[in-house]
Amino acid sequence: MAHKITEDCIACGACAGECPVEAISEGDIYKIDADKCTDCGACADVCPTGAILAN
């Protein structure tokens, strides 16, 4: 299951830099491409607001 970024995202970019498969795209709220996400959790570990949750 892919992780999901919630409305708590502050678009800091920390998660995108940690994603080993480049599944995260920029925006007002970052988004995770479920087809690319391997559910490793690296993004959630570095999110300063806890905006990334396992789906």
Say if CB 7 and CB 29 are below 8 A apart. yes
Q: 37 falls in which pLDDT band (50, 70, 90)?
A: very high
Q: Does domain 3-54 have CATH number 3.90.550.40?
A: no
The chain-wide mean pLDDT, for the chain, equals 95
Q: 45 falls in which pLDDT band (50, 70, 90)?
A: very high
Say if CB 16 and CB 37 are below 8 A apart. no
For 20-30, write each residue's pLDDT tens digit. Answer: 999 999 999 99
**CA 30, CA 16: separation in Å to the nearest integer?**
8
pLDDT exceeds cutoff 90 at 3: yes
SS3 label, residue 48: coil
